[in-house]
Structure 1
Amino acid sequence: MSLLQPILLFDLSAINFVAGATGVFTVKVLTSSANVLKLSGQRWFIDEDKVTADKTTGTQITDNLDLALTTAIPQNVVVTFTYSKVLTAKTSAIHIFTDFSFAVGALSTSILLYDATFEIGGVKATRVNATAMYKKNAGDSFVAVTELDNALATKQYVKELALETNKLGGKTWSAIGDSIGTNQLTTKIYHEYIKEAYGMLAVNNFSVAGSTVAKYDSADAHQSMALRYTSVVDADIITVFGGTNDAASYGPTYVPIGTMADRTVDTFYGAYHVLLMGLLTKFPTRKIGVFTPIQRTGKYELLLPFVQAIKEVAAFYSIPCLDLFNSGGLPADFPAFKTAYIPDGTHPNAEGHRLLAAKIGSFIASL
């Protein structure tokens, strides 16, 4: 994991305070990249240098793990971070190093920091135009740091973006799925991250481990989504995340894929038709979206035709489809990613679910 630290410098000389006063730092963060995992820590240094931003020779009053946030920074969502600490001495300047963790070091990534403020007793300090970047790890690199003023928040595109992301605030969501939507290998599921990040009211989780889309056998031992959708409760947003078990879990006799003309639950094409027709009939005024399966280690060729079937059937009903197989950012046959995000080759861990949350959150916000 790579880590870079944008540095902000504030002039405290105009504020009348004494040692022991509390400083409050606030910054808004915006990124369009799923590569940004989290804000993982902060370091504050106080001294008399009001010119040089990248400076650690003063008194350090926070350690690198003070913030230790584990909440993901989702794509295209304005996130506000506020942090406070007692100032151990009266000085003229404070240098704030803000640590961002990235999934991949060698991936072009941009982060926008704006409306950064530092206050003592309700009085705002002056931010010095001397922004810099600190590389924590020797292998990390960056191309450029662009200085932007605090008026950026008045730009119309930021206002529009904030309005767009607020579309999910207070909304409800019914999520139909398989074990990817359960707590296998993770303590927090993708939809839980999204609910928290977007301020959604509730998520109704209809994910069942081992569930197929089609009816696998006469006893429906694997709880077909094409049959159990009838128990799904009403919500503002309805999503389907299935297909991996049909394609690659119950060999050597997998669910037959069938053809686009099928309309029964005995083939995958037919069952996906039944499922989407059923949801459209049951929830005609709701936002409905579907996701393809993510990749699985050693199962690429098995999954590929099922992914294509999902995209075809969704397009037939004009239902938006998020292709997590081809652009989900979880290449399960790539050893480094498998170890970091999909340890068993099938189920994402907590970090894998963070990546999914970034993709899925933006998608459902656009429905």
Structure 2
Amino acid sequence: MLKDNGYFRKLSMLIKTYQLAATVEQQVRIKLIAIEPIIGTLTVRQQNWLVNQLFTDATSDISTAIALNLLILWNTHDIEQLKLNLIAQYATQAKLIRHLLQDVRRHLDELILWQKTASGSLIDVQLVTTLAKMPISSNKTVGIIGDSVSFGLKATTNYGQYIQRATGSGVQNLAISGAHLSDNGYNSIYQQAQRLEKAQLYIFQGTDDDWLANVPIGSLTDKPNESYLGAFYHTIKVLKQKNASSKILTLTPTYQVPVKGNKVRRTDETRNKLGHNLHDYVRAQIQASYVLDIPVVNLMQKTLFNPADYQFRQLYMPDGLHPNERGHRIIAKEIATAYNYYFILSENKKSN
């Protein structure tokens, strides 16, 4: 049963608008009946997120005149007058209902995943509930850049999605598998940063791909295409230029033991052609974060990720390299905890 709140009463009015405009009331009713049992399993915060998403999707597909009429409806609930305005000003009403049904189907997929989470994993429910109560939930927009880990390769749910579902934040995740931090083209994390929209919180993951590609560690004075640290500095610079008041968190890579069958392909201790192992790049990233006064979430801790342990690997990182959804729960919790420490507790200490 739907939880009683003003958002859903307004959604009902919005749906009626579509029904009148496109004269396909039965189709809409069928879709809403399909959604209702799933919506009932969600929290009020998640329900409100869905309604806001549907309303945003709907109004983006409507002309300025129709959007104005919707705003009139929002305040007056004058259905009959709205119907006349729609008929007079918008000749392709059928397009509206097609978009609505597409939006319903898209969000229904997300709701089904939520339902599976609620019915299949108490840990997921506890995580989402915990994150929703933490200060990170105050951010309405979050931007994420990184490589396959932030992308969520090998995971049904990545840490950005956990944060989004718990907080209702708008999360833009531009991470790409195999991305270098150093600027070697479109996929690079440096160029991902340039494509990000303005956000209140940026999450910037360091990568192991530069280590594997023998990219020099370099220094913060290098250009973004010259070294790992040069790209690190310029990526931070790009994020600050997008929103000077934004909060930025960087993530390190994790320990890794990539396996194929029973054979270990390499470890984080393996040295590249420059004589560096992954730990050298992680130490450089942490030191650079301190220099630039950017909080860093150090995921290279065996108390968090220990893929050398067979049982841990089976549960959290089956291929020894990419965290699955269980591993991403760990990352999401670490991000939220670090956010609280660096941006809430530390700031309070400074003010006192």
Query: What's the TM-score, normalizing by structure 1?
Result: 0.52
- Mark the CA change 1:365 to 1:172 in structure 2 (over 3 Å): closer, same or farther: farther
Could you tell me which residue of structure 1 aligns to residue 335 of structure 2?
360
Specify the SS of the correspondent of 2:157: coil
- Mark the CA change 1:68 to 1:208 in structure 2 (over 3 Å): closer, same or farther: closer
Specify the SS of the correspondent of 2:315: helix
Structure with more of its chain in helix, by fraction:
2
CA distance in 1, matches of 2:121, 2:295: 33
CA distance in 2, matches of 1:276, 1:77: 29
Which of these residues, 285, 290, 308, is aligned with residue 315 of structure 1? 290
Q: How does 1:251-330 map to 2 (within 5 A)?
A: 254-297=214-257, 298-301=266-269, 302-326=277-301, 329-330=304-305
Structure 2 unpaired stretches of 5+: 1-117, 258-265, 270-276, 344-352
Structure with more of its chain in strand, by fraction:
1
CA displacement 1:163-205 (0-9 Å, x = unmatched):
xx245146210011111122421111111112223x2321111
Could you tell me which residue of structure 2 aligns to residue 3 of structure 1?
none
Native 8 Å contact 2:175 2:189 kept in 1: no
Specify the SS of the correspondent of 1:204: strand
Which of these residues, 215, 219, 231, is aligned with residue 183 of structure 2? 215
- Mark the CA change 1:338 to 1:327 in structure 2 (over 3 Å): closer, same or farther: closer
1:202 lines up with 2:173 in the alignment? no
Could you tell me which residue of structure 1 aligns to residue 10 of structure 2?
none
Could you tell me which residue of structure 1 aligns to residue 191 of structure 2?
227
* Aligned-residue identity in percent: 24
CA distance in 2, matches of 1:212, 1:195: 25
- Mark the CA change 1:213 to 1:170 in structure 2 (over 3 Å): closer, same or farther: closer
Kindly report the root-mean-square deviation, in angstroms, between the aligned alpha carbons of the 2 structures: 2.5
Which of these residues, 102, 111, 127, is aligned with residue 74 of structure 1? 127
Native 8 Å contact 2:189 2:235 kept in 1: yes
Could you tell me which residue of structure 2 aligns to residue 333 of structure 1?
308
Q: How does 1:59-208 map to 2 (within 5 A)?
A: 68-70=120-122, 71-74=124-127, 77=130, 165-169=134-138, 171-197=140-166, 199-208=167-176
CA distance in 2, matches of 1:270, 1:311: 14
- Mark the CA change 1:349 to 1:258 in structure 2 (over 3 Å): closer, same or farther: same
Q: Which amino acid aligns with 1:355?
A: I
Could you tell me which residue of structure 2 aligns to residue 152 of structure 1?
none
Deviates more, 1:304-313 or 1:254-263: 254-263
1:267 CA displacement: 0.8
Specify the SS of the correspondent of 2:335: helix
CA distance in 2, matches of 1:78, 1:284: 25
Which of these residues, 179, 189, 210, is aligned with residue 246 of structure 1? 210
CA displacement 1:76-126 (0-9 Å, x = unmatched):
9388xxxxxxxxxxxxxxxxxxxxxxxxxxxxxxxxxxxxxxxxxxxxxxx
CA distance in 1, matches of 2:208, 2:331: 16
CA displacement 1:275-321 (0-9 Å, x = unmatched):
11222222211111111111111332221011011112111111111
Native 8 Å contact 2:131 2:333 kept in 1: no
CA distance in 2, matches of 1:240, 1:166: 19
Structure 1 unpaired stretches of 5+: 1-65, 80-161
Could you tell me which residue of structure 1 aligns to residue 260 of structure 2?
none
CA distance in 2, matches of 1:294, 1:78: 22
1:75 CA displacement: 9.8
CA distance in 1, matches of 2:336, 2:159: 9
- Mark the CA change 1:296 to 1:167 in structure 2 (over 3 Å): closer, same or farther: closer
CA distance in 2, matches of 1:269, 1:78: 32
CA distance in 2, matches of 1:171, 1:365: 16
Q: How many residues align?
A: 209
- Mark the CA change 1:344 to 1:236 in structure 2 (over 3 Å): closer, same or farther: same
Native 8 Å contact 1:226 1:265 kept in 2: no
